[in-house]
């Protein structure tokens, strides 16, 4: 039974829908997050790819209200942060990567591992019905002091987690054609004969899904109005 329960749990949201509908949440309900959700979010961060499988990150979970207020203050006075019941301080250990990969390990690979872990955590939070935000503006020395961090580690980000109290609009996203080249910088596909033909089923399914999503949303609003 236990196995089965976990299995259905993993199908809670199609991965593409999860990526597409995730938003940065800056308003939170005054409601605690179940501990097993936090553990699941951290696990997903741990499963992110890292160079040479040298996992050189640590996660500090902050629940204490006074400390969350101090972290918000240290994050260029982003006071909305203190309403999120959980802060995850993502800490990099560059020395670990440097041992194997030199400066590139210390700088690039540590940043990339942190970025991948953070994105995994944001998506997992969203799939669990939680809101999250990736915060990158902060006074590193102040957070080092608040979290008792040793000198040789660095703060990569603060991730806020909680139940969303807002539904942010999707920001305008450019069509994928504007962001993709073929073979080289500015490389366009030549002529209609090799047009996006082979991609069209993928694009079509995304468009259909979006239309369905909008239709469902409109129906929901109509339903609410009828009730009134």
Predicted confidence pLDDT, tens digits, the chain (228 residues): 444 444 434 456 899 999 999 999 999 999 999 999 999 999 999 999 999 999 999 999 999 999 999 999 999 999 999 999 999 999 999 999 999 999 999 999 999 999 999 999 999 999 999 999 999 999 999 999 999 999 999 999 999 999 999 999 988 887 888 889 998 999 987 655 555 555 666 666 666 666 776 677 677 767 767 766
Domain assignment of residue 3, yes or no: no
Domain assignment of residue 170, yes or no: no
**Domain final residue pick, 118, 139, 162:** 162
pLDDT of residue 193: 56
SS3 108: helix
Q: Would you list the DSSP string of 171-208?
A: PP---GGGG--SSSTTPPPPTGGGSGGGGHHHHHHHHH
pLDDT of residue 220: 73
**Domain final residue pick, 162, 185, 214:** 162
Domain assignment of residue 1, yes or no: no
Distance CA 32, CA 30 (A): 7
Distance CA 160, CA 72 (A): 10
Domain count, the chain: 2
- The reply to whether 43 and 93 lie within a common domain is yes
- The reply to whether 99 and 130 lie within a common domain is yes
Give just the sign of the alpha carbon dihedral 202, 14, 156, 113.
negative
pLDDT of residue 219: 75
Domain assignment of residue 5, yes or no: no
Under DSSP, the state recorded for 66 is H
The Cβ of residue 165 has, within 10 Å, a number of other Cβ atoms equal to 14
Torsion of CA 3, 6, 12, 13, to 10 degrees: -90
Residues counted in the chain: 228
- The reply to whether 25 and 127 lie within a common domain is yes
Distance CA 64, CA 153 (A): 22
pLDDT of residue 222: 73
pTM: 0.79
- The reply to whether 215 and 151 lie within a common domain is no
Domain assignment of residue 168, yes or no: no
SS3 62: strand
- The reply to whether 115 and 200 lie within a common domain is no
Which residue has tokens 């915060």? 135
Distance CA 42, CA 178 (A): 34
Pure H helices in the chain:
2-9, 15-21, 35-46, 65-74, 94-104, 110-127, 140-146, 200-227
- The reply to whether 40 and 93 lie within a common domain is yes
- The reply to whether 116 and 46 lie within a common domain is yes
The Cβ of residue 5 has, within 10 Å, a number of other Cβ atoms equal to 8
Distance CA 39, CA 37 (A): 5
Work out the angle between the directed axes of helices 110-127 and 35-46 (0-180°, nearest 10). 140
**Domain final residue pick, 162, 185, 200:** 162
- The reply to whether 86 and 182 lie within a common domain is no
Which residue range forms the structural domain that includes residue 136?
A: 14-162
């Amino acid at each position: 039974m236990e196995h089965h329960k976990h299995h259905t749990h993993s199908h809670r949201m199609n991965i593409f829908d999860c990526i597409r509908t995730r938003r940065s949440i800056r308003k939170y309900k005054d409601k605690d997050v179940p501990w097993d959700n936090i553990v699941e979010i951290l696990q997903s961060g741990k499963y992110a790819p890292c160079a040479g499988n040298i996992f050189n990150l640590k996660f500090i979970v902050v629940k204490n209200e006074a400390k969350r207020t101090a972290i918000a203050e240290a994050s260029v006075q982003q006071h909305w942060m203190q309403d999120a019941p959980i802060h995850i301080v993502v800490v990099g250990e560059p020395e670990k990567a440097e041992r194997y990969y030199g400066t590139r390990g210390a700088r690039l690979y540590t940043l990339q591992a942190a970025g991948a872990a953070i994105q995994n955590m944001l998506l997992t939070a969203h799939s669990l019905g939680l809101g999250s935000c990736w915060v990158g503006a902060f006074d590193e020395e102040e957070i080092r002091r608040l979290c008792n961090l040793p000198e040789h580690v660095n703060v990569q980000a603060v991730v806020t987690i909680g139940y969303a109290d807002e539904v942010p609009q999707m920001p305008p996203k450019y069509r994928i054609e504007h962001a993709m080249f073929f073979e080289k910088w500015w490389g366009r596909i030549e002529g209609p004969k090799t047009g996006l033909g082979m991609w069209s089923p993928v694009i079509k399914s995304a468009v259909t899904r979006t239309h369905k999503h909008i239709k469902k949303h409109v129906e929901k609003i109509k339903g609410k109005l009828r009730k009134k």
